[in-house]
């Protein structure tokens, strides 16, 4: 996780590797323009502002990893998903952090 989460009381760092290796649903919450400039192989782009209308895409997923450019929007995405009943959500931080575990 990024240093700001560690310094300012964010959640404890999570080991993304086993979650991703188990086939987590990888969701990039950046804008389509940002996504087109570089993304994680196998990830889907569901921008943060459209997340509430796309909740059906998250149903029946064992694990969900959300991520973005800095970890801020993915933190917001995690909250939105948890408020809508999803308890298996991990804030993966940046797309580069998540990408290092994708083969």
* Segment 13-45, tens digit of pLDDT: 689 999 999 999 999 999 999 999 999 999 999
Q: Which two tokens stand for residue 91?
A: 């804030």
CATH assignment of 16-99, given 3.40.250.10, 1.20.1440.230, 3.40.50.300, 3.30.750.24? 3.40.250.10
pLDDT digits (tens, 9 = 90+) for 46-102: 999 999 999 999 999 999 999 999 999 999 999 999 999 999 999 999 999 999 999
Q: Compute, in degrees rounded to 10, the torsion defined by CA atoms 33, 11, 92, 20.
A: -160
Q: Which of 29, 40, 66, 68 is catalytic?
A: 68
Contact 58, 64 (CB under 8 A): yes
Q: At CA 45, angle to CA 43 and CA 46, rounded to 5?
A: 130
Distance CA 32, CA 78 (A): 19
Q: Is 66 a catalytic residue?
A: no
């Amino acid at each position: 996780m990024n240093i700001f989460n560690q310094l300012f009381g964010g959640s404890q760092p999570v080991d993304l590797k086993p979650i991703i290796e188990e086939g987590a649903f990888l969701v990039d919450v950046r804008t389509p323009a940002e996504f087109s400039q570089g993304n994680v192989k196998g990830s889907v782009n569901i921008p943060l502002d459209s997340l509430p209308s796309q909740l059906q895409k998250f149903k029946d997923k064992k694990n969900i990893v959300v991520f973005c450019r800095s970890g801020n929007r993915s933190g917001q995405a995690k909250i939105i998903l948890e408020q809508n009943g999803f308890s298996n959500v991990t804030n993966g931080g940046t797309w580069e952090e998540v990408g290092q575990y994708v083969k």
